[in-house]
Homo-oligomer: A and B are copies of this chain.
């Protein structure tokens, strides 16, 4: 059974929701969950349930500076949890806490994966045809073309291993479909992706991502973060307006009651709690960043994804993929086109 450490103290609703999510995942998901944090508070939240606890005395706040927090709080739930992975006592780590601190600490504690220049945070984006994996969504605000190439390789492997997709279609987020459209970074990354041997489908516009025209969408961490946060904001705004409209008249309210299950189904497709958090790819271990607002369901789902990533051997596959790429580069590139 895969053992996953959970930062019990991380997130807006910790430790109540984190602990509840852990209990759920342990009960139904076949995961062994180790809770990391303040033992007294965790025990209270467990309400008699029995899960292993690793006690620690500190917690990193949501607004602390990532690097500074790592240095000053070595006995925090984030750093202690990641050290359990490092020491091999668990196979993966999940946190809904300060995402910058999780990323920085993952890099410091687990180290970079051989060959990875920059770890990238990826997240699943709902699309008409299923899902797309978009990265980087926040680990690197400024990127170079070589980074985007590595993101493409890692994202491709992620979709292949975790979701069983053969030759995932890789696109680069840009302002037009044509090869000549984009900022300097996109224009310079385009030829690298074209020659990568990946199933590169070219530029993808923001409006086409939800249409599902690519399985992996690469971008710098600034643009990616803006894109997913705009999505979050506009979805809330839209659903809020629909609710407001329904509440405005009695007959709308009655019709709204009938429609409720249908609207819920639509909203569910955009619900981040369904998608199990964002994996940090490129560090030497499985580290998953869950949304700060995660409820128990979102935590359980992130623990599932973490366990699944271990079961399919994600880290080894990434290591191998990046190594192969390096060999190709050293041998002077590849000459064949993109595979079907």
Residues of A within 8 A of B (CB): 63, 65, 126-128, 138, 141-142, 173-175, 178, 180, 182-184, 186, 205-211, 219-223, 225-242, 244-246, 248-249, 251-252, 254-256, 258-259, 262-263, 265-266, 269-270
Contact = CB atoms under 8 A, between A and B. Distances in A.
A317 to B, nearest CB: 29
Given A63-B178, A174-B226, A249-B262, 17 more contacts: A141-B175, A205-B229, A205-B233, A206-B228, A206-B229, A207-B232, A209-B230, A210-B234, A210-B237, A211-B237, A222-B223, A231-B234, A235-B238, A244-B266, A255-B255, A255-B256, A255-B259
A138 B226 contact: no
Contacts of A223: 222-223, 226
A175 to B, nearest CB: 4
This chain: how many copies in the complex?
2
A178 B65 CA distance: 10
Contacts of A245: 259, 262-263, 265-266
Contacts of A222: 174-175, 182-183, 186, 223
A65 to B, nearest CB: 7
Contacts of A126: 237
Contacts of A244: 266
A208 to B, nearest CB: 6
Most B CB within 10 A of own CB, among A210, A227, A234, A263: A234
Contacts of A251: 258
A243 to B, nearest CB: 9
The 7 closest A-B pairs by CB, nearest first: A206-B229, A207-B233, A245-B262, A206-B230, A141-B183, A255-B258, A210-B237
A221 B174 CA distance: 11
A263 B238 contact: no
Given A178-B63, A225-B175, A252-B259, A206 B183 contact: no
Given A206-B233, A207-B229, A223-B222, A252 B262 contact: yes
Contact of A206 (B186, B226, B256): B226
A234 B237 contact: no
Given A142-B183, A183-B141, A207 B230 contact: yes
29 contacts: A126-B237, A128-B237, A128-B240, A141-B182, A175-B222, A182-B222, A183-B220, A206-B227, A206-B228, A206-B231, A207-B236, A210-B234, A210-B236, A211-B233, A211-B237, A222-B223, A234-B234, A242-B242, A242-B263, A245-B262, A245-B265, A246-B259, A252-B258, A252-B259, A252-B262, A254-B258, A255-B258, A256-B259, A259-B259
